[in-house]
Amino acid sequence: MTMLTIRCSVLLLLLALCLIAPNTPTHAGAPENIEHTGWKLYTNARFGFSIRYPDDWRLGNPMPDGVGVVLYPPVEQSLVAVSGHMNVVSGNSQDGRQTLDEFASAHHRIITDLYGKKQVTLRWQPDQERSLAGFPGKALSFTYRDNTQGEIIEHHIFSLGRNEGRGIRVKVPRSAEEQVMSTIRKMLETYQPGRDQNAVSPLVPKSEPSR
């Protein structure tokens, strides 16, 4: 697979996350009322992951090809996108797929290029190692300013399995970051990866069969 193909594949995913408009919601995975928590449940039909979200958050339109959905907290100029993607890029993992570090490096490069074309300068924070639904993951964060919203911070949290990956993108004004992120932390406790992270991360060694 050529570098151009890699860049285009990731860029299409980013464009889907960045450019979805807050239109009247339609439901890709029907949310269910979770009566004992007062939260709703979104389940993605394509990748099988699920996450609970507060009942005062608005469910936006599904992303192209059913990869995920955008949620809108009751905070102006904020959004939370949850999505899945295929891990089909050749890389250095034991399965010959892209590793988590390779994916993170491509993510850095393509986002920087994407915002650079808009003449927006990003200020990256140090990457953080973290898990997502029990799988090794990373959290990438950066801030920027624009003419209408002041300082914005984005957190991109993702994990990468053998064949598929999962990600959560949070965009929020810096002044409301803790308000939204405190809810995100609770949401992540409910996150289920669904099928086929294949229960194996390319970074987790295969166990030897017992003899």
pLDDT of residue 151: 94
Output 145 or 163, whichever has higher pLDDT.
Answer: 145
Residue carrying the six token digits 């994990």: 159
pLDDT tens digits for range 68-123: 999 999 999 899 999 998 877 777 777 777 888 999 999 999 999 999 998 999 99
pLDDT of residue 16: 39
Q: What is the mean pLDDT of residues 16-20?
A: 40
pLDDT of residue 117: 93
Positions of E strands within 20-78: 32-34, 39-43, 50-54, 58-62, 68-72
The whole model's pTM is what?
0.76
> Which amino acid type is present at position 84?
G
> Which amino acid type is present at position 160?
L
Output 134 or 1, whichever has higher pLDDT.
Answer: 134
Question: Other C-beta atoms within 10 Å of 34: how many?
Answer: 14
pLDDT at 130 over 60: yes
Share of the chain above pLDDT 70, in %: 73
Element of type H or E holding 198: none
**How many alpha carbons lie under 13 Å from residue 179 in its C-beta half-sphere?**
12
CA distances from residue 137 to 101, 104, 200 in whole angstroms, order as listed: 9, 10, 13
Question: Other C-beta atoms within 10 Å of 4: how many?
Answer: 8
Tell me how many helices (H) and strands (E) the chain has: 3, 11
CB 117 within 8 A of CB 110: no
CB 193 within 8 A of CB 85: no
Domain architecture of the chain: domains with CATH:
3-22+36-189 (3.40.1000.10)
Confidence of residue 18 (pLDDT cuts 50, 70, 90): very low
Six token digits for residue 11? 């860029």
CA distances from residue 61 to 24, 177, 180 in whole angstroms, order as listed: 7, 24, 20
Range of weakest confidence among 92-106, 125-139, 194-208: 194-208
Average model confidence (pLDDT) across the chain: 78
pLDDT of residue 197: 55
